[in-house]
Amino acid sequence: MDEFELIRCYFAPLSPARPNVVLGIGDDAALLAPAAGHLLAVTSDTLIAGRHFPVDTAPFDIGWKALAVNLSDLAAMGARARWFTLALTLPDVDRPWLAGFAAGLQALAADADVALVGGDTTRGPLSVTITAIGEVPAGRALRRSGARPGDRIAVSGTLGDAAAALRQWQRGDAVVGEGQRRLRARLDRPSPRLALGLALRDLAHAAIDLSDGLAADLGHVLDASGVGAAIQAARLPTSAELLIAEPDADARQRLQIAGGDDYELCLTVPASRWIAAQQAAATLGLSLTDIGEIVQTRGFSVYDGNGAPLRFTEAGYRHFP
């Protein structure tokens, strides 16, 4: 099977005809038609086997996650996802693996209503690079640089589940019971919060998606905005599954603060818009939890339930330690 047959067989179905795709797969480049008055939001991520996902991850889940991590970036910008490209490096042509990978990719693409418009395939160690493209009205994108003192710091969903699942895999724990399966699903099939990003685009001051951990990712917002954060550890949203998997509160909070792969949104919201933001999230069936406040003094600080500072040294995931 050559490159072109591989594309026709497994990936052409991900490129349906639509008005905003003038020319998709099959030429030297795609021709896209963004909506009038909109800017393009473009993001790209590479996933490498054994580093960004466990080597035994199901191909369906690899396809899903490779797209999800990119769509999550668009969600953090308040952009509407439209298109994506795929660069796939394969050690060999494994038809069952390709079928599963394409199925996972297509499942999320259909759910998010995005079209595959190009890419590349080559031979080598397994890696997946996706570039996702979205649209956002000019002047209305959420950015990291908008946080202001007094903003509430909010996160969607729950934190620490994916990090707990990764730790279980690293220990060699078998995935048994519904609780462990749910934790592993948070690692393998994250849910990009696209609808939430759109709903909060005009309510939040700043946003970022939580890929490398709360401390690392919120730290980017703090640096870009020139502010600090005061986090209340007792408010970190926790799933029932994580409470069982990690009953020790200190260890659990470290997973929630430094662990990555949650792909929830972290936003800063002015106090005057906090109730509206919560209501917008609830309308989508999502939770939005106030975990602290943006402060004038630079730095990332964590406090316990009595207001005492907690010593915290983990910095989250780093690509080049």
Is 144 known to sit in a ligand binding site?
Answer: yes
250 belongs to an annotated ligand binding site: no
Residue 56 annotated as part of some ligand binding site: no
Annotated binding residue at 15?
Answer: no
- State yes or no: 261 annotated in a binding site: yes
What's the per-residue H, E or C state across the chain?
CCHHHHHHHHHHHHCCCCCCEEECCCCCCCEECCCCCEEEEEEEEEEEECCCECCCCCHHHHHHHHHHHHHHHHHHCCCEEEEEEEEEEECCCCHHHHHHHHHHHHHHHHHHCCEEEEEEEEECCCEEEEEEEEEEECCCCCEHHHCCCCCEEEEECCCCHHHHHHHHHHHCCCCCHHHHHHHHHHHHCCCCCHHHHHHCCCCCCEEEECCCCHHHHHHHHHHHHCCEEEEEHHHCCCCHHHHHHCCCHHHHHHHHHHCCCCCCEEEEECHHHHHHHHHHHHHCCCCEEEEEEEECCCEEEEECCCCCECCCCCCCCCCCC
- Is 73 annotated to bind ligand? yes
Q: Is 94 annotated as a binding residue?
A: no
Contact 122, 155 (CB under 8 A): no
Tell me whether residue 145 is annotated as binding.
no
Q: Is residue 122 annotated as involved in ligand binding?
A: no
Is residue 211 part of an annotated ligand binding site?
A: yes
Query: Helices 161-171 and 249-258 sit at what angle, rounded to 10 degrees?
Result: 110
From the annotation, which residues make up the binding site? 28, 43-45, 52, 73, 119-120, 144, 209, 211-212, 261, 317
From the annotation, which residues make up the binding site for Mg(2+)? 28, 43-45, 73, 120, 209, 212
From the annotation, which residues make up the binding site for substrate? 52, 261, 317
From the annotation, which residues make up the binding site for ATP? 119-120, 144, 211
